[in-house]
Structure 1
Amino acid sequence: MPTEPVSIQTASGHTLAGSLEMPTGLVRGAALFAHCFTCTKNSRAAVEVARALAREGIACLRFDFTGLGDSEGDFGKAGFVTDVADIAHAANYLYQRFGTAILMVGHSLGGAAVLAAADQLETDTVAAIATIGAPSDVPHVLSNIDGDLDAIRETGEGQVKIGGREFSLGKDFIERTSAVDLLEEVGRLRKPLLILHSPTDEVVGVDHASTLFAAAKHPKSFVSLAGADHLLLDDADAHFAAMMIASWAQRYLPLKEDWPLPAEGVVVKSGHGKFGTEVHSARHRFIVDEPRDYGGDDTGPTPYDLLNASLGACTSMTLKMYADRVGFPLESVTVHVTHERDYHADCENCEKGVRIQALHRKIELHGDLDQSEVAELLEIADKCPVHRTLEGKLEILTERIS
Structure 2
Amino acid sequence: MPTEKIAVTTAAGHELSGSLELPTGLVRGAALFAHCFTCTSQSKAAVAVARALAREGIACLRFDFTGLGGSGGEFGRAGFATDVEDLVAAGRYLADRFGDKILLVGHSLGGAAVLAAADDLGFDRVAAVATIGAPSDVPHVLRRIEGDLDAIRAGTTATVSIGGRPFELSGEFLDRVEATDLLAEVARLRVPVLFLHSPTDDLVGVENASALFQAALHPKSFVSLAGADHLLLDARDAEFAATVIAGWSTRYLPLRDDWPMPEEGVVVRSGHGKFGTEVHTPAHRFVADEPRSYGGDDSGPTPYDLLLAALGTCTAMTMRLYADRKGWPLEGATIHLSHERDHEEDCEHALDGEDGQIQALHRRIAVRGPLDDDQRRRIVAIADKCPVHRTLEGHLHIHTRAED
Shorter-chain TM band: over 0.9
The whole-number CA distance in structure 2 between the counterparts of 1:18 and 1:229 is: 25
Corresponding residue for 1:379? 381
The whole-number CA distance in structure 2 between the counterparts of 1:19 and 1:185 is: 28
Residue 43 of structure 1 aligns to which amino acid in structure 2?
Answer: S
Q: 1:95 to 1:326 in 2, by over 3 A?
A: same
Report the CA distance between 1:325 and its aligned residue: 2.1
The whole-number CA distance in structure 1 between the counterparts of 2:117 and 2:148 is: 29
Corresponding residue for 2:372? 370
SS at match of 1:127: strand
The whole-number CA distance in structure 2 between the counterparts of 1:279 and 1:354 is: 24
- 1:11-67 CA-partner distances (Å, limit 9, x unpaired): 111111111111111111100110000111111111111111111111111111111
Residue 362 of structure 1 aligns to which amino acid in structure 2?
Answer: R
Corresponding residue for 2:403? 401
- 1:109-168 CA-partner distances (Å, limit 9, x unpaired): 000000000022222210111100000111111111111111111134222111111111
Corresponding residue for 2:272? 272
- 1:243-296 CA-partner distances (Å, limit 9, x unpaired): 111111111111111124211111101111111111111221111111111111
Query: Quick check: 2:339–2:358 contact (8 Å CA) kept in 1?
Result: no
Residue 361 of structure 1 aligns to which amino acid in structure 2?
Answer: R
Query: Quick check: 2:100–2:125 contact (8 Å CA) kept in 1?
Result: yes
Structure 2 residue runs of 5 or longer lacking an equivalent are 343-354
TM-score (norm 2): 0.95
Corresponding residue for 2:308? 308
The whole-number CA distance in structure 1 between the counterparts of 2:35 and 2:374 is: 65
Q: Give matches, 1:2-401, under 5 Å.
A: 2-341=2-341, 355=357, 357-401=359-403
Query: Quick check: 1:119–1:186 contact (8 Å CA) kept in 2?
Result: no
Q: 1:56 to 1:356 in 2, by over 3 A?
A: closer
Report the CA distance between 1:355 and its aligned residue: 4.9
Report the CA distance between 1:356 and its aligned residue: 6.1
The whole-number CA distance in structure 1 between the counterparts of 2:187 and 2:34 is: 21
TM-score (norm 1): 0.95
SS at match of 1:168: strand
SS at match of 1:155: coil
The whole-number CA distance in structure 1 between the counterparts of 2:215 and 2:324 is: 58
The whole-number CA distance in structure 1 between the counterparts of 2:155 and 2:336 is: 74
Which shows bigger deviation, 198-207 or 145-154?
Answer: 145-154
SS at match of 2:180: coil
The whole-number CA distance in structure 2 between the counterparts of 1:398 and 1:379 is: 35
The whole-number CA distance in structure 1 between the counterparts of 2:156 and 2:285 is: 57
- 1:64-85 CA-partner distances (Å, limit 9, x unpaired): 1111111111111110001000
- 1:179-230 CA-partner distances (Å, limit 9, x unpaired): 1111111111111111111111000001101111111111111111111111
Query: Quick check: 2:147–2:160 contact (8 Å CA) kept in 1?
Result: yes
Query: Quick check: 1:2–1:272 contact (8 Å CA) kept in 2?
Result: yes
The whole-number CA distance in structure 2 between the counterparts of 1:354 and 1:244 is: 45
Q: For this pair of structures, how many residues does the alignment match? A: 392
- 1:282-338 CA-partner distances (Å, limit 9, x unpaired): 221111111111111111110000000001001101111221222101000111111
Query: Quick check: 2:323–2:330 contact (8 Å CA) kept in 1?
Result: yes
Report the CA distance between 1:401 and its aligned residue: 1.3
Q: 1:126 to 1:359 in 2, by over 3 A?
A: same
The whole-number CA distance in structure 2 between the counterparts of 1:13 and 1:325 is: 73
Q: Which runs of 4+ in 1 moved over 3 A?
A: 353-356
Query: Quick check: 1:65–1:86 contact (8 Å CA) kept in 2?
Result: yes
Report the CA distance between 1:4 and its aligned residue: 1.0
Report the CA distance between 1:357 and its aligned residue: 2.5
SS at match of 2:223: strand
Report the CA distance between 1:370 and its aligned residue: 0.6
Report the CA distance between 1:108 and its aligned residue: 0.2
Report the CA distance between 1:354 and its aligned residue: 9.5
SS at match of 2:16: strand
Query: Quick check: 2:35–2:108 contact (8 Å CA) kept in 1?
Result: yes
The whole-number CA distance in structure 1 between the counterparts of 2:94 and 2:103 is: 10
Which shows bigger deviation, 154-163 or 76-85?
Answer: 154-163
Structure 1 residue runs of 5 or longer lacking an equivalent are 343-352
SS at match of 1:78: helix
The whole-number CA distance in structure 2 between the counterparts of 1:40 and 1:4 is: 17
The whole-number CA distance in structure 2 between the counterparts of 1:53 and 1:11 is: 28
Percentage of matched positions with identical amino acids: 68
The whole-number CA distance in structure 1 between the counterparts of 2:336 and 2:358 is: 20
The whole-number CA distance in structure 2 between the counterparts of 1:230 and 1:338 is: 45
SS at match of 2:154: helix
Root-mean-square deviation (Å): 1.3
